[in-house]
Amino acid sequence: MEQENRSIKAENHFREILIHLGEDPDREGLIDTPKRYIKFLTEFLKPKEFNFTTFTNEETDEMIVQTNIPFYSLCEHHIAPFFGTGCIAYIPDGKIVGLSKLARTLDLYANRLQNQERITTQIAERLMNELNPKGVAVSLKAQHLCMCMRGVKKHDTFTTTTKLLGVFKTNDAARNEFLTYIK
């Protein structure tokens, strides 16, 4: 009941924002918009935790890379969407992770009010903590609608962030191999 009351209150606040913007929240296309918007934010900003399933590495000691992982987030400064793709790599040292967990880790940290740099770091640190691998490398490439639609209004501009830990930070060959995957 309390959650329902909070949702109704949030919907009413969003309705007031629409009025502030000069919109008529009672017109056909906007009648249910406050309810839909609050439902969207509630669903999107509560990513589901998951079991970080690991397995014995079965002598796999070379880089494991997952590329072109789509992600969506909301800029914490403007609550405008940013979206793109991620590349996640690690070199096992005893454990490998179920492949879906790499993409789920990206979603876990992206589906929040965020900034791209923090997401990149959070993914890398989570994988280092969960797997204790020889190294982790994460690269995210995203388009930020806060740059496209407001401010400088530059479309087709992408931001790339990386976080290198372990051998990816200290070993030129590992770093260079990873960089070939993100080009």
Q: Which is the catalytic residue, given 78, 130, 148, 177?
A: 78
pTM above 0.85, yes or no: yes
Angle between helices 116-131 and 100-110 (to 10 degrees): 140
Give the tens place of pLDDT for each residue, 50-96.
Answer: 999 999 988 888 999 999 999 999 999 999 999 999 999 999 999 99
CA atoms within 13 A on the CB side of 38: 17
Q: Which is the catalytic residue, given 11, 76, 87, 125?
A: 76
Give me the pLDDT at residue 57, please.
84
Q: Percent of the chain at pLDDT above 70?
A: 100
| Residue 146 is among the residues annotated as catalytic for this protein | yes
| Residue 87 is among the residues annotated as catalytic for this protein | no
| Residue 148 is among the residues annotated as catalytic for this protein | no
Q: Which is the catalytic residue, given 75, 87, 114, 122?
A: 75
Is residue 20 pLDDT above 90, yes or no?
yes
Q: Is 137 exposed, middle or buried (0-12, 13-18, 19+ CB in 10 A)?
A: buried
Q: Which is the catalytic residue, given 144, 148, 155, 177?
A: 144
| Residue 13 is among the residues annotated as catalytic for this protein | no
Give the tens place of pLDDT for each residue, 116-125.
Answer: 999 999 999 9
Q: What is the CB neighbour count within 10 angstroms for residue 86?
A: 26
Q: Which is the catalytic residue, given 143, 146, 148, 177?
A: 146
| Residue 116 is among the residues annotated as catalytic for this protein | yes
Query: What CA–CA distance (Å, rounded) separates 2 from 134?
Result: 47
3-state DSSP helix/strand/coil percent for the chain, to nearest 5?
45, 25, 30
Q: Which is the catalytic residue, given 11, 87, 116, 122?
A: 116
Give me the pLDDT at residue 153, please.
86
**Among candidates 82, 60, 50, 66, which has minimal Cα distance to 139?**
66
Range in 27-31, 149-153, 167-171 the model is least confident about: 149-153
Give me the pLDDT at residue 154, please.
84
3-class SS of residue 110: helix
